[in-house]
Homo-oligomer: A and B are copies of this chain.
């Protein structure tokens, strides 16, 4: 099994956080994608959508999309479940995970990809107005998460889950667009601070800082 990933990019980082929380180690190759590496035929053969991360199984099956990779890891390593233990929990975790993902993480990514000249090779055409339109959307989404965290210890309720991981990755990533959680969102700030104290999160942040390609 081999994981093609990236140390800083937010979707790969979600898988890094997931693996660190589970305490699962996977042979990983970190792919630099700023010089056309994902457009190479060799990479397109494992992911025609030209995105990281991708998990390649022993039989050659290539699983991309970070949520699909996390689901496979969860099923192979059921201890410390992060996708829920009952039908209702699993549905609520999936709901909040998607809200963090298609909501916040996507909104932050749109600002970054459409307003940063360095992203031009990956995002054509860049539409600056669309990028900027996502900044207030991201702020509105943060406020909804703050409200949820007023009465819940974790994003999807009492237990730590993949929804916390995605929200953490999104807020961490928001530094690239100089977006911080506003002072008045005290629940979210308290949750974020609690997150940074988790050993799994600290281990993942350590991976983010390293520089080797494996």
Q: Which residues of A contact B (CB under 8 A)?
A: 48-49, 57, 61, 63-65, 67-69, 71-72, 75-76, 87-88, 90-92, 94-95, 98-99, 102-103, 125, 127, 129-130, 133, 144, 147
Q: Are B125 and A129 in contact (CB-based, < 8 A)?
A: yes
Distance (Å) between the CB of A41 and the closest chain B CB?
A: 13
CA distance A125 to B98 in the complex (A): 23
Q: Are A68 and B94 in contact (CB-based, < 8 A)?
A: yes
Q: Are B65 and A90 in contact (CB-based, < 8 A)?
A: no
Q: Are B144 and A48 in contact (CB-based, < 8 A)?
A: yes
CA distance A147 to B76 in the complex (A): 30
Known contacts A64-B95, A94-B65; A72 and B87 CB within 8 A of each other: yes
Q: Are A98 and B57 in contact (CB-based, < 8 A)?
A: no
Distance (Å) between the CB of A22 and the closest chain B CB?
A: 14
Q: Are A147 and B69 in contact (CB-based, < 8 A)?
A: no
CA distance A87 to B147 in the complex (A): 35
Closest B residue, CB atoms, query A148: B48
CA distance A105 to B64 in the complex (A): 18
Which of A48, A65, A91, A92 neighbours the largest number of chain B CB atoms within 10 Å of its CB?
A: A91
Known contacts A94-B67, A130-B127; A76 and B72 CB within 8 A of each other: no
| Chain B residues, CB < 8 A from A125 | 129, 133
Q: Are B67 and A90 in contact (CB-based, < 8 A)?
A: no
Q: Are B90 and A144 in contact (CB-based, < 8 A)?
A: no
